[in-house]
């Protein structure tokens, strides 16, 4: 029972999600924004409870039967809850109250998905990992297709479902291999096999697990669902999918393949390095040809996943700290970019033409979008530069110089398509002279994102300290077999 106390935030969010689904049956659309606000408050309260864990880690950390709550998992839970909170804020301003459909169910699905991700980053058993992934996937499939009258939304949901089902089948097949190799699904029991040299069945199982994780990270070649799902989904859902599942999957990958079953002992470091380079390269090169902001940011998120995988490949403390910092910075950069896109979304479906002449209509919004694009490209003195520098330094320190060089070259390529958005805002003639709309919660999200991007870039020391504190696992390496 003591172990269950470690999951109180998950239990609280689950109860709130169930309550919101019930409310959806009895309240009409006029109460829609209130239901979204309740979800926003619930996620914010859960996020605040994690702050207590950072202040008293000995009381809020420990091992359960199938999970471990430690500084690493607490950090990723905080990222997931922060993303959930801001996405629900954006959802309040996404549509007028009269146009909201099933707002209670929508909010509940977002919260259930967040619960699945929070369980995922703490899981130390393959069955809990699989169940958490399935909870996240099922909720995500429905959220992508939530606009049932939109053909692009339905198309994106179907493609997401087909790829997700295929990756889940491969993942459970990998679990069966690992169970056959040792007779257990606990990752703590699998580690002793490494001392004898990994058997073929064990290696095959680990590679099949990678497919399931790679699907959520949007790692190449498991990324094909991303552009269509992102384009078809409601833009708050697109924002959510671009950040939270990626962070959760990276968190569990670090736990599994850096800590419990180190990929260096499996001799898979070369494979992971190649996948990291392919992910950033394919994402950046394909983004060059996009004319839709949602698809452009979709391929950008694929490329960003490739950069974050560098911290996973290096598998040392500095690499983990770089990954943690990059994930934290990525939340602000992507939230800000999608918040601007939500404000300017047009009848053509978020085409780049919506940004034409934005500087003439709303100079402040154009400058904010410029900051977010420059930060995603890694231009100093913004936060994206600090995050990339930390990861690239970790790669050089561990001897992966070619990986750092490939990442730098990809960052140079990315400048072109990020600056294409800036070109539309400052050097294209405005299609309309009506001022860009301002919305309360979108403005609040933009303000937080802008402060994060600027402050972390100018004064990174406190955030580097947090990354250092968050890069610890339970059980410790000394306690493992």
Strand-pair partners of 67: 123
Query: What does the angle CA 6 – CA 8 – CA 13 come to, to the nearest 5 degrees?
Result: 140
Decide: 315 and 263 in contact? Cβ < 8 Å. Answer: yes
From the list 160, 159, 116, 146, the residue with the least C-alpha distance to 134 is: 116
Helix (H) or strand (E) segment spanning residue 231? helix 226-232
Q: Is 62 helix (H, G, I), strand (E, B) or coil?
A: strand
The CB density around residue 246, as the number of other CB atoms within 10 Å, is: 25
Decide: 306 and 291 in contact? Cβ < 8 Å. Answer: no
List Cα–Cα distances, 201 to 51, 168, 197, 261, 328, in angstroms: 42, 19, 12, 14, 36
Q: Which residues have C-beta within 8 Å of that of residue 479, sequence separation ≥ 6?
A: none
Q: 282: which 2 tokens?
A: 């394919």
d(CA 471, CA 481): 20
Where does 288-382 have alpha helices with state H?
293-314, 317-344, 358-361, 363-377
d(CA 467, CA 329): 11
Decide: 85 and 47 in contact? Cβ < 8 Å. Answer: yes
**Running DSSP on this structure, what letter comes out for residue 289?**
T
Q: Is 175 helix (H, G, I), strand (E, B) or coil?
A: helix
Give the position of tokens 């393959």: 126
The CB density around residue 202, as the number of other CB atoms within 10 Å, is: 21
Give the position of tokens 């169970």: 179
From the list 299, 214, 238, 295, the residue with the least C-alpha distance to 110 is: 238
Q: What DSSP line would sit under 440-468, residue for residue?
A: HHHHHHHHHHHHHHHHHHH--HHHHHHHH
Q: 425: which 2 tokens?
A: 């805002």
Q: How confident is the model at residue 417, as a pLDDT?
A: 95
Q: Render pLDDT for 155-180 as a digit per residue (tens, 0 to 9).
A: 889 999 999 999 999 999 999 998 88
Q: Which residues of the chain have pLDDT under 70?
A: 1-3, 28-30, 53-60, 96-99, 191-198, 346-349, 436-437, 476-481
Q: What is the pTM of this model?
A: 0.94
Q: How confident is the model at residue 28, as a pLDDT?
A: 67
Dihedral sign of CA atoms 291, 294, 295, 296 in order: positive
Q: How confident is the model at residue 192, as a pLDDT?
A: 63
Q: How confident is the model at residue 86, as a pLDDT?
A: 94
d(CA 214, CA 209): 9
Q: How confident is the model at residue 315, as a pLDDT?
A: 82
Strand-pair partners of 292: 351
List Cα–Cα distances, 146 to 80, 91, 152, 157, 455, in angstroms: 21, 13, 11, 9, 36
- Helix (DSSP H) and strand (DSSP E) numbers for the chain: 23, 2
**Running DSSP on this structure, what letter comes out for residue 63?**
E
């Amino acid at each position: 029972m003591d172990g269950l106390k470690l999951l109180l935030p998950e239990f609280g969010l689950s109860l709130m999600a169930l309550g919101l689904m019930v409310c959806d049956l009895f309240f009409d659309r006029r109460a829609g924004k209130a239901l979204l606000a309740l979800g926003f408050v619930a996620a914010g309260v859960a996020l605040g409870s994690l702050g207590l864990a950072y202040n008293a880690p000995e009381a809020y950390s420990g091992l359960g039967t199938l999970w471990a709550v430690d500084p690493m998992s607490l950090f990723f839970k905080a990222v997931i809850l922060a993303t959930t909170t801001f996405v629900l804020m954006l959802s309040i301003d996404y549509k007028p109250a009269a146009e909201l459909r099933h707002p209670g169910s929508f909010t509940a699905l977002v919260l259930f998905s967040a619960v699945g991700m929070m369980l995922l980053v703490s899981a130390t058993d393959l069955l809990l990992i699989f169940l958490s992934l399935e909870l996240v996937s099922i909720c995500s499939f429905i959220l992508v297709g939530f606009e049932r009258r939109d053909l692009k939304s339905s198309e994106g949901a179907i493609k997401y479902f087909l790829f997700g089902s295929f990756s889940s089948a491969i993942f459970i097949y990998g679990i069966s291999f690992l169970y056959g190799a040792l007779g257990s699904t606990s990752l703590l029991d699998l580690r002793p096999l490494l001392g004898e040299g990994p058997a073929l069945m064990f290696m095959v199982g680990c590679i099949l697990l990678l497919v399931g994780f790679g699907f959520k990270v949007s790692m190449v070649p498991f990324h094909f669902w991303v552009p269509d799902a992102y384009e078809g989904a409601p833009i708050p859902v697109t924002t959510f999918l671009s950040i939270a599942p990626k962070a959760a999957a990276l968190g569990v990958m670090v736990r599994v393949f850096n800590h419990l079953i180190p990929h260096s002992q499996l001799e898979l470091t070369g494979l992971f390095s190649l996948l990291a380079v392919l992910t950033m390269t394919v994402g950046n090169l394909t983004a060059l040809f996009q004319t839709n902001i949602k698809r452009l940011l979709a391929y950008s998120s694929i490329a960003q996943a490739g950069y974050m995988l560098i911290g996973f490949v290096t598998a040392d403390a500095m690499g983990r700290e770089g990954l943690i910092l990059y994930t934290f910075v990525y939340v602000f950069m992507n939230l800000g970019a999608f918040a601007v896109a939500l404000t300017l979304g047009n009848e053509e479906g978020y085409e780049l033409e919506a940004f034409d002449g934005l500087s003439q209509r709303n100079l402040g919004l154009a400058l904010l979008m410029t900051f977010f694009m420059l930060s995603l490209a890694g231009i100093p003195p913004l936060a994206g530069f600090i995050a990339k520098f930390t990861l690239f330094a970790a790669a050089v320190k561990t001897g992966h110089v070619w990986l750092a060089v490939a990442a730098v070259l990809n960052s140079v390529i990315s400048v072109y398509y990020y600056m294409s958005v800036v070109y539309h805002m400052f050097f294209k003639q405005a299609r309309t002279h009506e001022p860009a709309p301002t919305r309360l919660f979108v403005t609040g999200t933009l303000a937080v994102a802008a402060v994060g991007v600027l402050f972390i870039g100018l004064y990174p020391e406190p955030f580097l300290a947090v990354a250092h504190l968050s890069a610890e696992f339970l059980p410790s390496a000394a306690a493992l077999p």
